[in-house]
Amino acid sequence: MTDSVDNKTLHRGRFLSLVSQNGWEFATRVGSTGVVAIIACTDNDEVLLVEQFRPPVGETVIEIPAGLAGDIAGSESEAFAEAAHRELLEETGYSAATMRELQRGPSSAGLTDELITFFEATDLTRVNEGGGDESESITVHKIPRPELRVWLNQQAASGKLIDPKIAAALWMAGK
């Protein structure tokens, strides 16, 4: 958030605050330093995606692996690349030998001050089944990149929402 003489917290919950700044209302995260999002491709040119029910939209969403940085007690100063490694492993069960930062930008500039840092994960090794932490129920998908558009269209036709960050991350990674 930028400094302002008219900065007022309207509501503070466990994970989010609603703030008014010079008459503009927006959400801000509590207990996190940012968001990481990972485009991960195997050596066989397969894209790792995750699927989970998202209560804010009331739908199942297909996404790239992502999560919060600095949200674990004792790790508040966690580096974004470290958070990206942690989230990739937690959600997909894959470890990456290389995690390259691609770009940083707002998730929804009119709604929140949240910034997402995108990473490309390569040299992947399957370590476990993934599926998220105890608060998550994540399905992992490994889709051949040349078939991705058709597969995503099929998922959308079946009623699942497709997060547009998938396309943005692929573009950032030059895929």
| Average confidence (pLDDT) over 65-69 | 96
Burial status of residue 74 (CB atoms within 10 A of its CB: 0-12, 13-18, 19 or more): exposed
The helix (run of H) or strand (run of E) holding residue 85 is helix 80-92
- Sign of the dihedral defined by the CA atoms of residues 146, 41, 55, 26, in that order: negative
31-172 CATH fold: Nucleoside Triphosphate Pyrophosphohydrolase (3.90.79)
Query: Among this protein's residues, is 134 annotated catalytic?
Result: yes
Question: Considering 59, 90, 134, 136, which one is annotated as catalytic?
Answer: 134
Q: b vs e for 24-63, b when ≥16 Cβ sit within 10 Å of the residue's Cβ? A: eebbbbeebbbbbbbbbbbeeebbbbbbeeeeeeeeebbb
> Residue 72 has what pLDDT?
87
> Residue 7 has what pLDDT?
84
* Alpha carbons 132 and 169: distance in angstroms, whole number: 21
> Residue 4 has what pLDDT?
45
The pTM of the full predicted model, rounded to 2 decimals, is 0.92
Could you state, in order of their start, the residue ranges of all structural domains in the chain?
31-172
